[in-house]
Structure 1
Amino acid sequence: MQSPLRHGRAALGTTIATGALAALSQAPERASRLFRHRFPTVAVTGMTGVGKTRLADRLSRRASAEGTQDVGSAVMERRTRRDPRMRGYRFRVVPGENAATRLGALDEVFHDEPVDGVLHVVAYGHATPRRTAGTSGAGAATREEQLAAELEDWSITAHRIAGMAVRRDRPTWLVIAVTKADLFADDIDAAVDYYSPGSGSPFADKLDELRALAGGAKLSIDVLPVCAQGGGRKSSMPEKAATELLNRLELRLAQLSGHV
């Protein structure tokens, strides 16, 4: 017959072993949560020609290849930003072209592996027009046509964001980055107002609908102007001013991600 002491030791050993196995089984999940906290995933969305890749390159401190800022990409691109404190972001740049790869990328960032936040890039009607397939030379489109295309693109993205937000038990954040600010440097306040909830613009109405669907308390929305590349001191957007706008965007991303 086993003595009470031996029985106690056996029970203690079983408890310790069970606890150790439980800790080991939870270790990957804890590591994953820690990594996600330090490196949240950010979907960079927007129609083709608004400069998503260029902006993601600046935010990730990656040099853009010459001539690529107006080309666009048909596949999802990935960028990672790391700082000395081992914090940063994992950017997922969703293609702007209406192709199967774009729909697959949207499914990935909003359904398969839901992102922590969304950086939606717009250009106040100044997106670089794309030429028609099979033709050469620069594309052509009026500002009104570009704003209409931008709104159509946003409707698709907003639907995906709403679907993701209602499945989450934690807030999701959205930053509208109004890029190419150098092209409307004297009209930045009007541009920001156009994209701000409650302003009554067609884009603002879509944002209000999104907040109603997703739940206003679960979805924070910021609108910030940005310029991925400034010019000389006498230009409409000197590099110093462009850097200040980029710094404001980076600070807000850090606040939303809990980095500061």
Structure 2
Amino acid sequence: MNRSASRRTTAVTTASGALIASGALQALTSAPHRLAHLLRHRFPLVAVTGMTGIGKTRLVDKLARRATADDAMDAGSAVMERRTRRTARGRGFRFRVVPGDNAATRLSALDAVFHDEPVDGVLHVVANGHATPRRAAGTSGAAAATRDAQLAAELADWAITAHLLAAMAVRRTRPVWLIIVVTKADLFEGDIEEAVRYYSPGSGTPFGDKVDELRSLAGGARLSIDVLPMAVPLENSKPNRQLADKLLTRLERRMAQLSGHI
């Protein structure tokens, strides 16, 4: 082989090696992104928001098939809780439960789920004015509040969440879903439809008007909104078990549909 042919062979070999190395480097560089995309597709992030005493932890424990001690339920959590729901089909959800108390940890958790690592969906929990009254953090003893006061507190809490949710939705390249979960439906079983209507867009109610504002800010194509009732009675409470199971199945199916699992 002459020198010219040898140089050409060497150049081709070098170029091929460079291409292989470049391809391998690109594959390694893109691997974390692909893995993250696969993880988010199979296990989307879901923020669980709502005021204190509304039943967020109990709801997520039900969805994740786990249990939290009743004394922890009564006190509430001051930090963001994490739960994971796994199914036999290798899919599920990663829940981020935002504290309900208006404390620095709550603001930090809201910033985390709506800005630092934006979630794919939101379960915003309300209770038709039946949230469990709680004293401010650091104080003990029973608390009391009227249903009207609790409805007003729900509305104030929603105003903060809706603002952050709208800001996140307009930044995202893909749609975000929201389910407003009207929990404790076993306490107003005869008025479930009316309670759902109160929280629904286009209802003309104080809460419905705020949801309409959110839809206007975020854009209908960027945010889907559902309103579903839910009941999570105590584990030793046999009444309303059939209602609770029916509503849980409905909520889980809708979450699976919105996440592309079915």
Matched with 1:239 is 241
C-alpha distance in structure 1 between counterparts of 2:224 and 2:46, whole Å = 14
C-alpha distance in structure 2 between counterparts of 1:112 and 1:134, whole Å = 29
Matched with 1:122 is 126
The answer to whether the 8 A contact 1:197-1:205 is kept is yes
Give a deviation string over 1:91-118, Cα, whole Å, max 9, x none: 0000000001100100000011111110
The yes-or-no answer on 1:26 pairing with 2:30 is yes
Matched with 2:76 is 72
C-alpha distance in structure 2 between counterparts of 1:172 and 1:99, whole Å = 26
Matched with 1:151 is 155
Matched with 1:253 is 255
Deviates more, 1:121-130 or 1:9-18: 9-18
The answer to whether the 8 A contact 2:54-2:131 is kept is yes
Structure with bigger gyration radius: 2
C-alpha distance in structure 1 between counterparts of 2:73 and 2:232, whole Å = 10
1:133: how far off? 6.0
Give a deviation string over 1:30-77, Cα, whole Å, max 9, x none: 111111111111000000011000001000011121333332111111
The yes-or-no answer on 1:51 pairing with 2:64 is no
1:205: how far off? 0.5
Matched with 1:188 is 192
The yes-or-no answer on 1:203 pairing with 2:234 is no
The answer to whether the 8 A contact 1:180-1:227 is kept is yes
Matched with 1:97 is 101
C-alpha distance in structure 2 between counterparts of 1:245 and 1:105, whole Å = 28
Secondary structure, counterpart of 2:95 in structure 1 = strand
The yes-or-no answer on 1:174 pairing with 2:178 is yes
2:180 aligned partner, one-letter code: I
C-alpha distance in structure 2 between counterparts of 1:50 and 1:199, whole Å = 22
C-alpha distance in structure 2 between counterparts of 1:77 and 1:14, whole Å = 47
CA distance 1:66–1:107, shift in 2 (3 Å): same
Matched with 2:218 is 214
C-alpha distance in structure 2 between counterparts of 1:183 and 1:215, whole Å = 34
Match of 1:60 among 60, 64, 76: 64
1:132: how far off? 5.2
The answer to whether the 8 A contact 1:55-1:228 is kept is yes
Matched with 1:16 is 20
TM-score by length of 1: 0.94
1:240: how far off? 1.7
- Structure 2: runs of 5 or more not aligned: none
CA distance 1:162–1:133, shift in 2 (3 Å): closer
Give a deviation string over 1:162-190, Cα, whole Å, max 9, x none: 11011111100000000000110000000
The yes-or-no answer on 1:37 pairing with 2:37 is no
C-alpha distance in structure 1 between counterparts of 2:91 and 2:83, whole Å = 14
C-alpha distance in structure 2 between counterparts of 1:57 and 1:205, whole Å = 31
Secondary structure, counterpart of 1:166 in structure 2 = helix
Deviates more, 1:82-91 or 1:134-143: 134-143
C-alpha distance in structure 2 between counterparts of 1:165 and 1:243, whole Å = 32
For the aligned residue pairs, the C-alpha RMSD in angstroms reads 1.4
